Amino acid sequence: MRKFTMFLGVALSWLGVADMAAVASAGEQAVGKGVEKSDFGKTADGTTVELFTLTNANGLKAKIINYGGIITELHVPDRDGKLADVVLGFDNLQDYLAGHPFFGCITGRVANRIAKGKFTLDGKEYKLAANNGPNHLHGGLKGFDKQIWKAEIVPATDGVAVNMTYRSPDGEEGYPGNLTTAVTYTLTNQNELKIDYSATTDKATPVNLTNHTYFNLAGPQAGTILGHELKLAADEYTPTDDTLIPTGKIEAVKGTPLDFTTIQTIGSRINQLKGKPVGYDHNFVLSKKDGVLALAAWVREPKSGRVLEAFTKEPGVQLYTGNFLDGKTKGKGGVVYNQHQGFCLETQHFPDAVNQPAFPSIILQPGKTYSTTTVYKFSTK
């Protein structure tokens, strides 16, 4: 026990924890097993929401709740080894329950937009909630982001992991089929947050899952992300109408403010974009084979030196720059979230794919398994 205590003391010292005695029992669980489970609060009907704290061998830490599968905190080091939380969110459950712009959550059954909240499948028209102007967004009024997921700690060969499952009944939010979804979050010892998605259904249904974390690699309290440097592995994008529904065309980014084929700061051409509020909310067509895990995006925050690389099996990624953050939302530590204070890299199939025959299909058939992976890898430069 003395050897373990000495080891724990060194680990906690490296992490900047001053009072070892105050956190010894929690530390023993976190350092020894890498995962700590605790209560995060209760919903209005008294259901307890669980918080899972994942800590890898290098001290990186991810906190995830089983309400919406939300990543509430993600602590990664800067070039000097100093850890900081790099995602937007809240300190307590009540703020999440009160409503928020999809901070850190799993979005589904279909992420992004469906035109006019309807689609036709096998000759039958399905009507969905129009919860984003005339369109359907991120699964509807009570999508996967607002559900309680069944969560359990699972073994991982390289790191620590938690698995979350949710069974969406036939007709929920207007979608056909009983859909069983599993999402596994793994914090690897290679400083990656790996997200594995799978789903099965008993009736043909559209499925397009993603994670909607808002990142700020300098920390949310540092202000906007306009100075972050960005490179996307995308030569093309899907242009949209005024309600952000794709026109069906795929066009080149060259010669537009959407050209991130070379490193550019996010804010360097943002004011050239049309529409209000100003900012990026665009689906980029990745220059890779669909279904192959490959680099989609590289982001660097110059002052801290933190680098985020996003890898995905998906054919697209939605770059969103927090355009609708308006200073009315107060987050962790009392930080006010203003416009462009975070960016999202929503790996996905294309928006409105269920109504766009030319886009890769998002229809899952009975007997088939939806399966995809996205990895957010952290380093410094």
Number of domains making up the chain: 2
- In the chain, what's the furthest Cα-to-Cα distance? 69
Check which CATH number belongs to the domain holding 210 and give it.
2.70.98.10
Provide the 8-state DSSP code for 93.
Answer: H
Which tokens is 155 given?
């073994």
Return the residue matching tokens 């900047």.
16
Pair 90, 7 in one domain: no
Q: In a structure prediction context, what are the per-residue pLDDT tens digits for the chain, which is 381 residues long?
A: 333 333 333 333 333 333 333 333 333 333 336 999 999 999 999 999 999 999 999 999 999 999 999 999 999 999 999 999 999 999 999 999 999 999 999 999 999 999 999 999 999 999 999 999 999 999 999 999 999 999 999 999 999 999 999 999 999 999 999 999 999 999 999 999 999 999 999 999 999 999 999 999 999 999 999 999 999 999 999 999 999 999 999 999 999 999 999 999 999 999 999 888 999 999 999 998 889 999 999 999 999 999 999 999 999 999 999 999 999 999 999 999 999 999 999 999 999 999 999 999 999 999 999 999 999 999 999
Pair 6, 113 in one domain: no
Write down the catalytic residue from 136, 212, 282, 349.
212
Pair 108, 18 in one domain: no
* Residue 136 annotated among the catalytic residues of the structure: no
Q: Are 286 and 260 in contact (CB under 8 A)?
A: no
Write down the catalytic residue from 138, 301, 346, 349.
346
Which tokens is 365 given?
């058939």
Provide the domain limits for residue 28: 1-33
Which tokens is 79 given?
């070039």
Return the residue matching tokens 């084929």.
261
Pair 101, 190 in one domain: yes
* Residue 36 annotated among the catalytic residues of the structure: no
Q: Enter the pTM of the model.
A: 0.91
